[in-house]
Homo-oligomer: A and B are copies of this chain.
Amino acid sequence: MPNKTSNKGLENGIDYQAPLQDMAFLLNEVFPPPESETIDQNTEEELFVLKQAARFAEQELATINSECDRQGCQLNDGQVSLPPSMKTAFQKYAQAGWMGLCLPEQWGGQNQSSRLGSFIGELLTSANHAFSMTPALTMSACRALIAYGSDELKQNYLEKMICGQWTGTMCMTEAHCGSDLGLIRTSAIANADGSYQVKGSKIFISAGSHDASDNIIHLVLARLKDSPNSREGIKGLSLFLVPDKSEEDGQWSKDNNVRCIGIEEKMGVHGNPTCSMSFENSQGFLIGEENKGINAMFAMMNEMRLGTSLQGIGLSERSFQKSLNYAQSRTQMRSLSGIKNPELEADPLIVHPDVRRMLLTQKVFAEGGRALAQFCSQLMDETHQENTNKEKQQLLDMLTPIAKGFCTEVGLESASHAIQIHGGHGFIKETGVEQLYRDGRIATLYEGTSGIQALDLLGRKVLGTQGKSLMSFTKMMHVLDKENSHLADDSEIGTLLSSLKNYSKEWPEVTMQIGAKAMKNPDEAGAASFDYMMYSGYIVLGYFWAKMAITARTLLNKQLLDKQILDELPLEGEYSKELLENKIANATFYFDRILPRALSHKLAMLSGNDSLKESF
């Protein structure tokens, strides 16, 4: 029988419900704050903020998602207008102070942790992918400025960006160069006053021009001209801050010759303009050192990649919610195992095992991905502390391309299942799932395609650390197994642990095999990379599903000892017994139905470069 009271069941008219129970479960039970933590980790306060963000996402963003898609952005006389409701939502967001949530108090921010920021980032993108991009880009620009900018730049720009009066962009891509930043042609010449003249064209600049902020601050990768230090490739690139409007006599209104010369017609994300920008000897200010722009850019990029992983997770979550709602209410055919709802002319879709297979697939990708992203954001909080533990940094570095690459790839699958569950109606605009499918498709492309993530993972992060990062993760797998040896006889948990144990041995083994081949021929790394990333992603999610199931089982076992204990859980019923039971059932589904995919990826990647001939 469809469970209409499920926390995931949508009420009439409400199109998105923030997964607060699951987030509370992760924050309180699966990844409780480490005792060594120094920043404010009061989870009650965090949950309070989270609830406010949830309300904003549900009421202000999810509700306008389809409207923004239909209306799109307009370019007139060099000025882009957003869909009116998008403009209003952004202004509300800025005024409520959300932009500075995880940024320093010194500049007007609220200095919250990434672990909170990660959840909130997911809520925004689930509710409205197009909306979420501008805040994410602005926050990343602020972080680059904080890490690499001069005091003067910080003082001039940070406060206004953090309060959302101004927004930021990231200007890397040019028409002839996407993944290959070394080909950048945009140039910069030093002025006598220490500033630079930036000249060139950039494409694919999200929110490069729009009408929801007073000024737009572009971080532009460019090549210093006539500089004795300038070099070819990415090592000759510098990062410049180039405002749309610059300061003159205390007023920020001077035209800085930054032009939006076109916006793209694209498949989705219509609520966010993708701009072609022209810098016509615009005044720019160096961020960091000359010719070391790529370092500052990578610092931004890693964070953007984790942010993009949230888009994959949010896509799975929203696809799941819409699909579950439809599967519970749409009646079609009778259950193969006998009529389930005799009072109806047909049974609801959810009685069909194949429909549940698709729903569960979406659910395990959303919740498993969420656990991975939460773990990464806690690592980010920890590595932001002084005395950074190198092992933790390496682990975060390795998990970042997995989170980005894997979670966005499976996000596309979730969106496709949403269409499939809706049948022909999924192809029609009205149900909204086709928008998810279109909008989400960008996530495996920008901030480095899946192919780029895969090369980064295998080449730089795993083989490049002689496997140390990988060993950090497999150590966690061993620890999970050891710490829970008392559950080895539990019929469900025992199976998960023993499967995980095999993978913790196999993963380093196959890595060594590929590494050995790649030493002889680097193309072997390229040939294995994508399947390696997917293989790794399935195992990593397996770890987090096992960890969630063990946590749930442990809590349920306590309840067996004391029937009252659920009422006494830290959050007084923030999550239900049903959530705990579902965690175990969902983990079993993951290990039975999804994790076996690792096997075919393993066979594919071990088959090597030989069969990838140019035989076209």
The answer to whether B416 and A412 have CB atoms under 8 Å apart is yes
- Cβ–Cβ < 8 Å partners of A585 in chain B: 611, 613, 615
Q: Is A324 an interface residue (CB 8 A)?
A: yes
The docked-state distance in angstroms from the alpha carbon of A430 to that of B615 is 28
Residues on B with C-beta less than 8 A from A522 are 336-337
A183 with B526, Cβ < 8 A, contacts A449-B420, A592-B607, A599-B603 known: no
- Known contacts: A266-B428, A445-B423, A599-B603. The answer to whether A332 contacts B615 by CB under 8 A is no
- Interchain CB contact under 8 A, B333 and A3: no
Taking a contact as CB atoms under 8 Å apart, the answer to whether B267 and A427 are in contact is yes
| CA distance in complex: A359, B523 (Å) | 16
Partner of A266, one of B412, B429, B450, B451: B429
Contacts of A265 in B (CB 8 A): 428-430
The residues of B that contact A346 with a CB separation of less than 8 Å are 180, 182-183
A273 at the interface (CB under 8 A from B): no
Which one of A179, A274, A454 has the highest number of Cβ atoms from chain B below 10 Å of its Cβ? A179
The answer to whether A612 and B599 touch across the interface, beta carbons within 8 angstroms, is: no
Whether, in the assembled complex, A211 has its beta carbon less than 8 Å from a beta carbon of chain B, the answer is no
Alpha-carbon distance between A525 and B357 when the two chains are bound, in angstroms = 13
Residues of B within 8 A of A596 (CB): 599-600, 603-604, 607
Known contacts A416-B412, A522-B336, A600-B600; decide if A614 and B3 are in contact (CB<8 Å): yes
With a cutoff of 8 Å between Cβ atoms, the chain B residues found around residue A441 in the complex are: 416, 419, 427, 434, 437
Residue of B nearest to A7 (CB): B616
Q: How large is the interface on A (under 10, 10 to 19, 20 to 34, 35 or more residues)?
A: 35 or more
User: Does A352 lie at the interface of the complex (its beta carbon under 8 Å from any beta carbon of B)?
Assistant: yes
Q: A445 contacts B419, CB within 8 Å?
A: yes
In the complex, how many angstroms separate the beta carbon of A477 from the nearest chain B beta carbon?
21
Question: Which residues of chain A (422-444) have a CB below 8 Å from chain B?
Answer: 423-430, 434, 437-438, 441-442, 444
Q: Separation in Å of the A335 CB from the closest CB of chain B?
A: 7
> In the assembly, what is the distance between CA of A526 and CA of B204, in Å?
45
B612 A332 Cβ-Cβ under 8 A: no
Query: Chain A binding site: helix, strand, loop or mixed by DSSP?
Result: helix
Known contacts A525-B336, A592-B607; is-contact A616 B353 (Cβ 8 Å): no
Q: Are A3 and B616 in contact (CB under 8 A)?
A: yes
A247 within 8 A of B: no
A245 at interface by CB-CB < 8 Å = no
Q: How far is it, in angstroms, between the C-alpha of A454 and the C-alpha of B611 when the chains are bound?
A: 31
Whether, in the assembled complex, A301 has its beta carbon less than 8 Å from a beta carbon of chain B, the answer is no
Q: With both chains docked as a complex, state the minimum distance between the C-beta of A546 and any C-beta of chain B, in angstroms.
A: 15
Q: A337-B521, A427-B441 are in contact. Are A614 and B420 (CB under 8 A)?
A: no
- Chain B residue contacts of A574, Cβ below 8 A: none
**Chain B residues in 8 Å Cβ range of A527:** 353-354, 357
Q: Is the CB of A353 within 8 A of B523?
A: yes
Task: Quote the shortest CB–CB distance from A534 to chain B (angstroms).
Answer: 11
CB–CB B3/A424 < 8 A? no
Q: How far is the CA of A3 from the CA of B615 in the complex (A)?
A: 9
Q: Please, which residues of chain B bring their CB within 8 A of the CB of A359?
A: 616
Determine whether A268 belongs to the interface, using a CB cutoff of 8 Å to chain B.
yes
| A507 on interface, CB distance cutoff 8 Å | no
- Contact residues, A1-16 vs B (CB, 8 A): 2-3, 6, 8
| Whole-angstrom CA separation of A86 from B589 in the bound complex | 47
Q: Is A292 an interface residue (CB 8 A)?
A: no
B423 x A178 contact (CB < 8 A): yes
Contact mask A1-36 → B, CB, 8 Å, 1/0? 011001010000000000000000000000000000
Q: Which residue of A350, A352, A581 has the most chain B CB atoms within 10 A of its CB atom? A: A352
With most chain B CB atoms within 10 A of its CB, the pick from A2, A178, A616 is: A616
Docked Cα-Cα span, A441 to B585, in Å, equals 31
* 23 residue pairs bridging A and B, Cβ less than 8 Å apart: A3-B616, A8-B616, A179-B423, A182-B346, A183-B332, A264-B429, A267-B428, A335-B523, A353-B523, A354-B454, A354-B527, A355-B451, A357-B527, A357-B612, A419-B441, A419-B445, A423-B445, A423-B449, A585-B613, A585-B615, A589-B615, A593-B611, A599-B603
Given contacts A360-B612, A438-B438, A596-B599, 16 further A-B contacts (CB under 8 A): A176-B331, A178-B424, A178-B425, A179-B332, A183-B332, A183-B346, A266-B428, A267-B437, A335-B523, A336-B522, A355-B451, A356-B613, A357-B530, A427-B442, A589-B613, A599-B599
